[in-house]
Amino acid sequence: MEDFVLLFRQPDTYNYNLSQSNIETAMKRWDKWFNDLEADGKLVNAGIQLGLKGKVLKAGGVVTDGPFVEIRERLNGFIVVKAESLDDAITLAHGCPILDIDGTVEVRPFFIHEQMKGHLLSV
C-alpha cells in the first residue's frame, strides 16, 4: 500500500452565500465520505481545509496577494489516503463531494527523497 494525496480544487466562482440547509447537506456528504474511507482503512489523514486568504512568495522575494489570483479554481484542502496503486486512489476519489460542485480532485503519489526521510512526520 502507498500513500496518495487527494487535493481538492473548487471553482473560484463557487458561491459562499449558501443557505444553512445547503451547508449542512454538504457537510453530511463530506462526513459520510470520510467515514467510509476510514471504515475501509484507507484514510491516513483527515481532511484539512485551507483558508481563503494568503500570500504567494515568488522568486526574488516578490510577495503577491493570493493564493488564487490568477487561476479559475482554488485549492480548497486535501487528505491522504492509502491505496494499492494510482488507479485505486483515483477510484477512492470518485466519491468526493467536491465533484458535485464542478470541483476537481487531483490524485498524486508522494515522492520521498531518501535524504528527507528523517525529517518527515510520517512515512
**Spans of all domains in the chain:** 2-119
Q: What is the average pLDDT score of the chain?
A: 80
Q: Which of 13-17, 81-85, 110-114 has the highest mean pLDDT?
A: 81-85
Q: What is the pLDDT, as a whole number, of residue 121? A: 52
The predicted-structure confidence for 39-88, as pLDDT tens digits, reads as follows 999 999 877 777 777 787 888 888 877 665 556 667 788 899 999 999 99
Distances (CA, A) of 77 to 24, 84, 101, 105: 18, 23, 15, 10
Q: Which has more confidence, 101 or 6?
A: 6
Q: What is the pLDDT, as a whole number, of residue 2? A: 87
Domain 2-119 -> CATH class: alpha beta
Could you tell me which residues are beta bridge partners of residue 73? 11
